[in-house]
Structure 1
Amino acid sequence: MKNEQQIKFLESKRLYLRPVEIEDANMIFTTLWDREARRLTGTQKVFSRQGVHQWIESVTLDSSRLDLLICLQENDEPIGDIAMMEIDHVNQNAIVRIAIFEKENWGKGYGTEAMSLLLDYGFHILNVHRIELEVFSYNVRAKKSYEKLGFKQEGILRDKLYYDGEFHDSIMMSVLKNEFKNRST
């Protein structure tokens, strides 16, 4: 897809978010096997290329979610993915998740920047009031990023994840529209 005109659905100075396309399947498949990224996201499932193809086809048809790739403005390189799921227009809430693929892109603020774009879209275009997520207790960097965006800890789901022979807590966090709007970043 390098030579085609990229769709830039949501943009910031360094990043843009674009829809996931079937042509992205091989790249996504490869990223699903990074050991540390799997640990941070709690991923234990075994994926096949065909399964990734089917997943892309299903999410692009699901109106209750929005799945996007995070790309660098400078070279159109996909560096992660982000999603807003279970979008509930009646109760005005949704769930988000994010993953930055390669370690060399961690700690540069890309995740916070991409999540800010998605939250802004959710609050101001989709008109949701509350957005939530779960983060595992050992993912301290992600928790700090979410706090910068106005997320507050709501509770702890004790021993929710069993990974590498140990149980880990999952931290429930959410941000309300006015908290995102009034954050001090």
Structure 2
Amino acid sequence: MLIDDMILIRKTQETELTYVRKTEKDPTNSPYILQWSLQEHKRALTDNPNILHLLVIERLSNKPVGYVLINRLEDENDSMEIKRIAFSEKGKGYGRKMLHLIKQWAFTDMHANRLWLEVVDHNFRAKSLYESEGFKIEGLQREAIKINNNYQSIYMMSILRKEYQENK
């Protein structure tokens, strides 16, 4: 469990997948993220030791406000991926707090050398947040994924351990 003054991040329970799927399908999220079936989410909870399915909870209300998937926990190159981020509550600082906790955990506890993610090119709000948190653009993959039957271009972004340590 990761915790600060505003949020805590813990493993998602199967009973919470209804919230996760609803958050994914929300019109403020669905143009930017791939949709997983209930079975895919269940498999991430139980069948894959290389992925973490995490819920972000507001501490004051003890209610979920988002979720995050972390992939490549056992990567031989020490390169971890933030596979998906989705929040039901926006504009309250939860995403920034989550990134702080995930970066600290990845670089300190997991000894990752690199933390990376992909962001749809027209998700300006998320891209701006990642840049402000030290993530650098590595490149643009043109029309690399299909979301809602539309091809989307995605930026690959990363932050290295040395960059994290210089900026903390």
Q: Same fold (TM over 0.5)?
A: yes
Q: Secondary structure at the match of 2:5?
A: coil
77, 88, 93: which one aligns with 2:63: 77
CA distance in 1 between partners of 2:117 and 2:141 (Å): 12
Q: How does 1:11-160 map to 2 (within 5 A)?
A: 11-41=3-33, 43=34, 45=35, 47=37, 52=38, 54-61=39-46, 62-96=48-82, 97-101=84-88, 105-160=89-144
**Identical columns (%):** 25
Gaps of 5+ in 2: none
Q: Secondary structure at the match of 1:75?
A: coil
CA distance in 2 between partners of 1:14 and 1:90 (Å): 33
CA distance in 2 between partners of 1:95 and 1:164 (Å): 23
Answer whether contact 1:70 1:114 (CA < 8 A) is retained: yes
Gaps of 5+ in 1: 1-8
Q: How does 1:156-175 map to 2 (within 5 A)?
A: 156-163=140-147, 167-175=151-159
CA distance in 2 between partners of 1:19 and 1:66 (Å): 7
Answer whether contact 2:137 2:157 (CA < 8 A) is retained: yes
Instruction: Summarize the Cα distance change of 1:46–1:109 in structure 2 as closer, same or farther, 3 Å threshold.
Output: closer
Please, what is the CA RMSD of the aligned residues? Answer: 2.0
Runs (4+) of structure 1 exceeding 6 A deviation are: none
Superposed displacement of residue 181, structure 1: 2.1
Instruction: Summarize the Cα distance change of 1:83–1:164 in structure 2 as closer, same or farther, 3 Å threshold.
Output: closer
